[in-house]
Structure 1
């Protein structure tokens, strides 16, 4: 097994374990907030990466490697979410435990989604 395969395997195993521990919270957030949820998580990780590469101490004990692996994990989860079946109009319907109905968008209909909220 190559180094790249080992790293990828480790990321996938960690991703599966965390997803089980957190009860698929990433998909739930994506279903409520759309791609913005992934953007925020990745931005948080990018901020941590910038701090680590500047030599700033990390208060939670995360290394540059851990941060990069988390970013890859979030990218994989986002790609998986985007690949899931959506309604024919490109929207995903979601009902959380409160019974609220939410619309989220895929890349296919971002412009239509923006128009809804510009009025």
Structure 2
């Protein structure tokens, strides 16, 4: 439940990439339902009032008179990865390569044991 006294009002801009506030883009179901981003693509961007919790960067809120406060999630523009995400991606690739190599080595060992087993039985 949102405590209204903790929210601070501010201005954000609706653009084709999302709701832009403090260097990040956000999206929510209302913006998608009302096609804000498509409208911003064909027309100029516009300002809206948003609400945020001080010290929280998980998202922002917009006010809808019918539904109340609606949470807006941060979205990442395409082809934009943070240094941390790139580092995790490359680490994951290295782990996958290592697993593939271990699987290959284990398969070779099994084949060697099968051959020895065949030789032992005959």
Which structure has the bigger radius of gyration?
2
TM-score (norm 1): 0.23
Q: Which has the higher strand share?
A: 2
